[in-house]
Amino acid sequence: MEVLTKLRHHANQIKAHHLRDLLSDSSRNTHANFESILLDFSHSKVTNETLELLSEYAESSNLFTKIAGLYSGEVINPTEGRSVLHTLLRAETSDLPIFGEVVDVRNRIKDFSSKVRNGEFVGVSGKPLVDTLCIGIGGSYLGPEFVAEALKTEPECARAAAGRKLRFLANVDPVDFIRNTSDLDPHTTLVIVISKTFTTAETMMNAKTVKEWMVKSLGEFPADEVVKKHIVAVSTNIPKTSEFGISVENVFGFWDWVGGRFSVTSAVGLLPLYLQYGENVTNFLKGANSVDKMFLEKANRGGLSQNLPLLLGIIGWWNTEFLEYSSRAILPYSQALVRFAAHIQQVDMESNGKQCSLTGEPVKTTGPLVFGEPGTNGQHSFYQLMHQGRIVPAEFIGFCKSHSTDTLAHNELMSNFFAQPDALALGKTDYQLGTEKCPDHLIPHKRFPGDRPSLSILIENLNSYTCGQLLALYEHRVAVEGFLWGINSFDQFGVELGKGLATQVKKTIETGNFDEHPSKRLLEFYVAHRNN
């Protein structure tokens, strides 16, 4: 029997087994460790046979060879004719000739950020640049913000960031500009315009607004001096950055083989993060690199049971493709990971929300809907649906140590981290409700069906190094799932149509003639009621 058919047949058997039964089977392989990370998938609907069949499929579909393509420079993004090499950004050595440029940019970032941090590179009025305002959106925003938040309370990073602010201006909503700049002093602010293409409408508009704000606020100095001392860029498009007025020595480049959503370890993330956290960021790169190396070294059938991103990938694919769950929740029990789900949502959904295979054939199932919030907050919001409504495979992420010394509160938090997977998996039966003297008419309301899968990632501590590891774990898991579906995880044509229409609508609003427009009523209402 072909392995896919065997997997479908096996999925039907697994569906019939309640997680309660699977959890009592002590012969199951249910965890893997890497350094200070424990991945526990005991609460997933996966047995040893499932893993065996998935690893058979992985081999027969050339998954391991495809993974090697993330390191070799092969063109694995054929629709854009590009390699995919974000692993090179955190490599310590490489035979690829471009690696020299990677190291050069890294060194320039370190050099520039330490000059800013130690007051050697100052603003136009001679004041130190203690605040950083990053302008960027999508991949040029979500990753850096996730890491910046994750490290904000980590003691060493907090020390390094003392007296400094780091802000992110993403939305073209002018209110985002107000929210981010109202308490910033232009004299002490360094602006980083982050855009791979340097053409993204929102970023360009915000960059223009911020440039005008800077030039006006520092009006006693020549405009070009203000720009030179206060505005730098991260981009692959040098001509456009020059057109904007940014000197070439203030542009930190990257390459077309770095996808936006995979660009956190390029200058996109490194410049803001080195400015804020100094040398700690080197450990972030080392953490990501440690997972990159393990992912490649163990990309084979023998290594699969200890390869964390590969396990995450095959279990995720199994959940979506065979158990037919259409969503996934990312639930960090850590307020520091407040922006992690938002970042991974882009990495995952922009990569794997596709409609056809690499060769253009329609694909029935691709990536799931991804959402999440830190626990315990989410418990008081959408967990109701997860316990008694739809089945949403959950991914719990927790840390043994806290950034706070309040162990009592941390224990409280972590008790919830441990309780939720059990509640989802085991549920609560009518019999249990009966022993609690639950009135009969309330039993249907208070019953918990259970049998809801999850997995847990428990890490000793959240620091720069493990933050890099977590990033790489999820980046690679998304690639694994995309390889298994045979889709191109590295293009994103699905975002283009709406952008193009927005440009047309802008023109339509200027003309004031909405007669032919499908959103006529909305446009008329808008124009009638907007400011002035």
Ligand X SMILES: O=P(O)(O)OC[C@H]1O[C@H](O)[C@H](O)[C@@H](O)[C@@H]1O
* Chain residues that interact with ligand X, rule: CB under 6 A: 137-140, 195-197, 200, 203, 260-261, 350, 492, 495
Whole-angstrom Cα distance, residue 327 to residue 91?
33
Amino acid symbol at 415: S
The contacts of residue 234 (CB under 8 Å, 6+ apart) are 136, 140, 192, 193, 194, 195, 251, 252, 253, 254, 266, 267, 268, 271
Nearer to ligand X, 422 or 491 (CB): 491
CB of 142 to ligand X, least distance (A): 8
Helix (H) or strand (E) holding 252: strand 251-253
Nearer to ligand X, 77 or 280 (CB): 77
Whole-angstrom Cα distance, residue 373 to residue 487?
28
Q: Measured between alpha carbons, how far is residue 489 from residues 111, 312, 357, 480 in Å? A: 34, 16, 10, 9
CB of 197 to ligand X, least distance (A): 3
Q: φ and ψ at 39, to 5 degrees?
A: -105, 120
Q: Is 517 among the catalytic positions?
A: no
CB of 471 to ligand X, least distance (A): 16
Whole-angstrom Cα distance, residue 388 to residue 444?
10
Choosing from 17, 216, 380, 520, which is the catalytic residue?
Answer: 380
Choosing from 9, 17, 401, 499, which is the catalytic residue?
Answer: 499
Q: Nearest residue to ligand X, using CB?
A: 260
Nearer to ligand X, 140 or 289 (CB): 140
Q: Is 499 among the catalytic positions?
A: yes
Nearer to ligand X, 262 or 325 (CB): 262
CB of 139 to ligand X, least distance (A): 3
Nearer to ligand X, 131 or 202 (CB): 202
> Taking CA 259 as the corner, what is the angle to CA 255 and CA 262, rounded to the nearest 5 degrees?
115
> Taking CA 147 as the corner, what is the angle to CA 146 and CA 148, rounded to the nearest 5 degrees?
95
Whole-angstrom Cα distance, residue 528 to residue 496?
29
CB of 251 to ligand X, least distance (A): 14
Contact in structure between 477 and 393 (CB atoms under 8 Å): no
CB of 236 to ligand X, least distance (A): 8
- State the DSSP code for 368: P
The strand order across the sheet containing 31-34 reads: 31-34, 37-40, 454-459, 394-399, 327-332, 369-372
Choosing from 202, 350, 475, 481, which is the catalytic residue?
Answer: 350
What is the Cα 71 distance to its own chain's centre? 20
Nearer to ligand X, 11 or 232 (CB): 232
* Length in residues, the chain: 532
Q: Is 350 among the catalytic positions?
A: yes
Nearer to ligand X, 81 or 97 (CB): 81
Q: Which of 113, 235, 241, 226 is nearest to 166 (CA)?
A: 113
Q: φ and ψ at 77, to 5 degrees?
A: -115, 75
CB of 492 to ligand X, least distance (A): 5
Which active-site residues does the annotation give? 350, 380, 499
